Structure 1
Amino acid sequence: MNIAQTKQIDIVDFLKAIGCFPTKETACAAWFRAPYREDMTPSFKVNKNRNIWYDFGLARSGDIIDLGILIYRTHDISRVLKLIENAAPGIPVRARTFQPSSEGRNETLRNIRTGTLTSVALKSYLTSRGIDIEIGIRECREIHYTCHGKTYFAIGFPNIAGGYELRNLYYKGCIAPKEISVANTAKTALSCCLFEGFMDFLSYLTLVRQGKLLPPCRQPDLIVLNSVSNLSKALSRLKAYKKIYCFLDNDDAGRKAVDLLREMNTVTVYNVMEAFPYYKDVNDLLLNKKRMP
């Protein structure tokens, strides 16, 4: 199995196959004792809908491959994939189900309120992603809203059209309109740094603050696409720069976006993430979470 196929293996079924059974299970979630450490009180939760896990004891989350790294105590991804496949040969892969777009889901969001990021739970989520809390509070907002009569809250990252990207441990969506975000804009900036999502943007700022990453130039504009599919919305703005430093994901979509920008000819485009081929994105670079490109 390759990485994409392995990620479709149901985590709950995998844990049961290796002898770890839930202490509590509902239609949406299952609780376990963490399978890779001593855990007297079950603090390991699997979100069945998203097929991800969260360890409340370590404030750490991930997919089945991240789990395999911890269980088998190796960062050799090829070995992890093989061990997972061998441990659960009879488990069918999860069917891919249709999910409405974030814009479609936005129609059910009501009573939207924004404020300063103060929630302990949301700050803890940022910490689990390695984000500097001061940076998170400065760049993001706390959004409260209702959906189908229930109240929720999430980290909100504003875009140039008044909408927000929404993120918490269990949800990834947006408040329309869906648009790009622009930060640190200087009237005379000739260069910009381009990010796919705001977690990569926050990770970049954190790495710079920690002295682990040098800005590619002096006072660049910082642009977040909020989805690589938004690239077309940013093209007119990007054409105004002399240099674009791309911090896009190390995947086919990210590389195709870089190639498209290079076709503009009037702009010099650098694919910064080529220097970090074993990291999927900037947040993985911040967390030192290596994987095969």
Structure 2
Amino acid sequence: MEQTEIDAVRQMPLADFLARLGHEPVRRSGNELWYIAPYRGERTPSFRVNVAKQLWYDFGLGKGGDIFTLAGEFLQSNDFMEQAKFIAETANMTVTGWEKPAYLPKPTEPVFEDVEVAPLFRSPLTEYLAERCIPYAVASRHCYRLNYGVRGKRYFAVGFPNMAGGHEARSRYFKGCVPPKSVSLVKSDDTPSNECLVFEGFMDFLSAVTLGVTGNADCLVLNSVANVKKATKLLDSYGRIGCFLDRDEAGRRTLAALVGRYGERVTDRSSLYDGCKDLNEYLQQTTKTEKQPSKNRRI
């Protein structure tokens, strides 16, 4: 690997690197992105990325550094060239002088234990969804209660299935995936559809169902913008592709990638929630506005 290639690896943004590995931030505060630690189990996000300095710090481990040391945590290796090769492989970079590694990072212990799927009855989970303006009738049709253990402690979250047998999981305190990570396809109940709607996360999909904008189309949930390549295998057969992607840089890059592959078959549907980051934020604003009493209402 030449020095110019190492420099290119070094310049890869940490958030992009993590997104390609299937990890998205739980929240953002200024220049700081907070994650559930990507290589160990935890409930409260304690892994921070400074996007200005391109440095990370894991408060749970008391360790941090740059993109190379982060790759080292995934690989459990201090070998610099192994770290550089892993980053390049993750970024699909063409690098001379080495073969692609035949290994993937192996966790030292199972992160999720005794995973159970149960019906989504009314509970604090449905109260959380109600706060996001997702009604019980919609949530119970597409989601379930996910019970799981981490290091001997039991937790629960709203579960949503993906096509690889994994579970997307959401609660007030956790946003993540019980692996394997993949996309989710929700077929229309009617006859085969020629249209597919694309969403980044299942909360936006549930919002679209709540708003009644899905019609008779099939719906594809990426569960991470890093899953675009997996999505294309499914989208190739559709004549129309409507995109309800986040109105941010990652969403724009994803839309551009789909337009580059499918051209005029793709329609950007994000104008519906212009001024909002995503469809769920729009749903919350719309619902709260409808619930506000009219100033002109007579008493």
Query: Which bracket does the TM-score occupy, shorter chain normalised?
Result: 0.5 to 0.7
Aligned to 2:210: 206
CA spacing shift, 1:162–1:4, aligned 2, 3 Å: closer
Which one of 229, 236, 248 corresponds to residue 232 of structure 1?
229
Aligned to 1:157: 160
Aligned to 1:97: 57
Aligned to 1:76: none
Match of 2:114, as an amino acid? Answer: N
| C-alpha distance in structure 2 between counterparts of 1:7 and 1:238, whole Å | 35
Aligned partner of residue 97 in structure 1, secondary structure: strand
| C-alpha distance in structure 2 between counterparts of 1:104 and 1:245, whole Å | 37
Aligned to 1:270: 267
| C-alpha distance in structure 2 between counterparts of 1:150 and 1:9, whole Å | 26
Q: Is 1:171–2:174 an aligned residue pair?
A: yes
Task: Please tell me whether the aligned partners of residues 196 and 238 of structure 2 are also in contact (alpha carbons under 8 angstroms).
Answer: yes
TM-score, normalized by length of structure 2? Answer: 0.60
Task: Please tell me whether the aligned partners of residues 239 and 264 of structure 1 are also in contact (alpha carbons under 8 angstroms).
Answer: no
Instruction: Within 5 Å, give how 1:16-27 maps onto structure 2.
Output: none
Instruction: Within 5 Å, give how 1:71-220 maps onto structure 2.
Output: 96-98=56-58, 107-118=110-121, 120-185=123-188, 188-208=192-212, 214-215=213-214, 218-220=215-217
Note the C-alpha offset of 1:6.
3.2
Match of 1:140, as an amino acid? Answer: C
Match of 1:243, as an amino acid? Answer: R
| C-alpha distance in structure 2 between counterparts of 1:240 and 1:255, whole Å | 23
Aligned partner of residue 226 in structure 2, secondary structure: helix
| C-alpha distance in structure 2 between counterparts of 1:130 and 1:231, whole Å | 27
Task: Please tell me whether the aligned partners of residues 47 and 57 of structure 2 are also in contact (alpha carbons under 8 angstroms).
Answer: no
| C-alpha distance in structure 2 between counterparts of 1:122 and 1:263, whole Å | 39
Aligned partner of residue 112 in structure 1, secondary structure: strand
Which one of 282, 285, 298 corresponds to residue 285 of structure 1?
282
| C-alpha distance in structure 2 between counterparts of 1:269 and 1:205, whole Å | 20
Note the C-alpha offset of 1:140.
0.5
- Which ranges of structure 1 fall in alignment gaps of 5 or more residues? 11-27, 29-46, 52-92, 209-213
Match of 1:158, as an amino acid? Answer: P
| C-alpha distance in structure 2 between counterparts of 1:106 and 1:274, whole Å | 44
CA spacing shift, 1:50–1:120, aligned 2, 3 Å: farther
Aligned to 1:6: 30
| C-alpha distance in structure 1 between counterparts of 2:33 and 2:248, whole Å | 21
Match of 1:195, as an amino acid? Answer: F
Aligned partner of residue 30 in structure 2, secondary structure: helix
Note the C-alpha offset of 1:104.
5.7
Deviations 1:30-62 (A, max 9, x none): xxxxxxxxxxxxxxxxx78499xxxxxxxxxxx
| C-alpha distance in structure 2 between counterparts of 1:270 and 1:144, whole Å | 38
CA spacing shift, 1:109–1:203, aligned 2, 3 Å: same
| C-alpha distance in structure 2 between counterparts of 1:122 and 1:187, whole Å | 33
Q: How many residues align?
A: 203
Aligned to 2:19: none
Match of 2:30, as an amino acid? Answer: T
| C-alpha distance in structure 2 between counterparts of 1:138 and 1:254, whole Å | 27
CA spacing shift, 1:106–1:245, aligned 2, 3 Å: farther
Match of 2:247, as an amino acid? Answer: N
State the Cα RMSD in Å.
3.2
TM-score, normalized by length of structure 1? Answer: 0.61
CA spacing shift, 1:226–1:106, aligned 2, 3 Å: farther
